[in-house]
Amino acid sequence: MTFTPHGKHLVSGDWVSGDGTFRSEPATGPAHTFAVGTVALVDRACRAAEDAFWTYGYSTRQERADFLNAIADEIEARGAAITEIGTQETGLPAARLEGERGRTTGQLRLFASHILKGEYLDRRTDEALPDRQPLPRPELRMVQRPIGPVAVFGASNFPLAFSTAGGDTAAALAAGCPVVVKGHSAHPGTGEIVAEAIDAARQKCGLHPGVFSLIQGGKRDVGTALVQHPLIKAVGFTGSLAGGRALFDLCAQRPEPIPFFGELGSVNPMFLLPQALAARGEAIGKGWAGSLTMGAGQFCTNPGIAVVPNGPDGDRFVASARTALEEVGPQVMLTDGIASAYHQGRQRFAGRNAVEALILNDEEGRTVRPNLFETSADQYLQDHGLGEEVFGPLGLVVRIDNDDEMVTLARGFEGQLTATIHMDGGDAALAQRLMPVLERKAGRVLFNGFPTGVEVADAMVHGGPYPASTNFGATSVGTLSIRRFLRPVCFQNMPAELVEGDLGAS
């Protein structure tokens, strides 16, 4: 099945074009023309979303679960066409796109199952105590309720799982919030076909057309208009620190400030403890190289830094990682812009006197190869720039002299999505010293593994202290992500005839 994009926006059930257009820049295959988003289209989509909220926000959990399952069905029905356009636009291999599609539909189905259980509503009831002294207590009922229309910005590195029907959209729809998506210009055709799937599911379920809209392309004014539209009540974003921080500030500057749930970036440090390093340092080095270069390093959980003790065991780890990285062939990055930023990051590291280049590739263009650098803990702590994410297959080894220096270095890291401890039984005492530090630094702490690959599950946390994300109390992956788009409401002395739906006991 070949899919040829028509290049239009989806706004409240209508496919609409506009005066301006832009051309996609695929890694392979034909380029296509797409309409450019406008402030007027943003306003139309947001008003339709608000209108839809008065029915969708008060729909039953079964109705919303049916919608989520129908979206998954429609995406799967377009599976081959999604893979074709997705591989052309991003350069990602078909197997990666197919796996990501499965993750996307699995997430939708998981959220459908989760909301049917009702536990996410966190319903609480305090019985009335009319005879309590010195004052009686009224009956109190608390339940989580949807907040209203949500804006979602598609991510460049996940054209499916973090974009049009990705985690933010699925979570908002599960909560009962209509969604307006600002599609990413790196994969507009993929966004369009997924939007078709969502709209087909909406029609099948008989829902208000304003429950979902997709606006493609557009300059900065389109994104600004979306986050500052008075009818938008929250924003979901996955992208760069600079772009996310700019949108976060716009949300805070509104007359009515709203939450901005931004996942912005992370270097995801790994700490190699001495006993594990001695026992299996070479294997860990090889595994690190594989994780570092997976998907050309274009994962927000890419483990960009390895903290390694000095000495022969550390040398063997570095040699193993270096050999494995040198065997990795050229990889295509998602966009020209991402590739350019990667090359700039490589040059930034290569130009530092206190950093040794272990692998330095000087390629240009959209095809890249790994780069590997090494520095000391002292130098890392003195140079803030060494802790800035380079999006791509670039690794930094930070060498330490002793356990105390490892703990000090851990305290010097900024907020992270993940932190990893490689340990054996004899490393338990040092691991216990690191634990209080790392749980303050990261949303997910791993042991003896690699952070690339984020399981979609009840217990998953994909977030962390700033700058990893803008809201350390939230996650953008897993069922807990639904809670971002809910708020608690208390009902006092509610008459029995009004206690129904989510306010009931079931």
pLDDT tens sequence across 228-261: 999 999 999 999 999 999 999 999 999 999 999 9
Catalytic residue among 50, 89, 100, 263: 263
Average pLDDT for 34-38: 96
pLDDT, average across residues 293-314: 96
DSSP-derived 3-state class of residue 353: coil
pLDDT computed for residue 1 by the predictor: 63
* Rounded to 5°, angle at Cα 53 from 48 and 55: 110
Which of 331, 306, 332, 333 lies closest to 320, judged by CA? 306
* Average pLDDT, integer, range 41-55: 98
- pLDDT of residue 483 exceeding 80, the answer is yes
Structure tokens at 274: 């001495």
Strands of the sheet containing 486-492, edge to edge, are: 124-126, 140-146, 486-492
Main-chain dihedrals φ then ψ at residue 73, nearest 5 degrees? -60, -45
Placement of tokens 């994909």 in the chain: 462
CA neighbor of 358 nearest in space, from 341, 342, 370:
370
State the pLDDT at residue 44: 98
Would you state the pLDDT for residue 203? 98
Q: Which helix (H) or strand (E) holds 307?
A: strand 305-309
115 vs 384, higher pLDDT: 115
Where helices occur in 273-335 by DSSP H, the ranges are 274-293, 312-326
Rounded to two decimals, the pTM is 0.95
Which is the catalytic residue, given 46, 177, 251, 300? 300
The answer to whether the beta carbons of residues 97 and 87 sit under 8 Å apart is yes
Verify whether residue 263 is a known catalytic residue.
Answer: yes
For residue 205, indicate whether it is catalytic. no
117 CB contacts (<8 Å, ≥6 apart)?
none
Tokens matching residue 99: 């796996």
Residues 194-214: what's their mean pLDDT?
Answer: 98
d(CA 452, CA 432): 24
CB 271 within 8 A of CB 431: no
Q: pLDDT tens digits, residue range 417-473?
A: 999 999 999 999 999 999 999 999 999 999 999 999 899 999 999 999 999 999 888
State the pLDDT at residue 96. 93
Q: Classify burial at 433, counting beta carbons within 10 Å of its beta carbon; exposed 0-12, middle 13-18, buried 19 or more.
A: middle
DSSP 176: T
The alpha carbon of residue 292 and the mean position of all alpha carbons in its chain are separated, in whole angstroms, by: 18
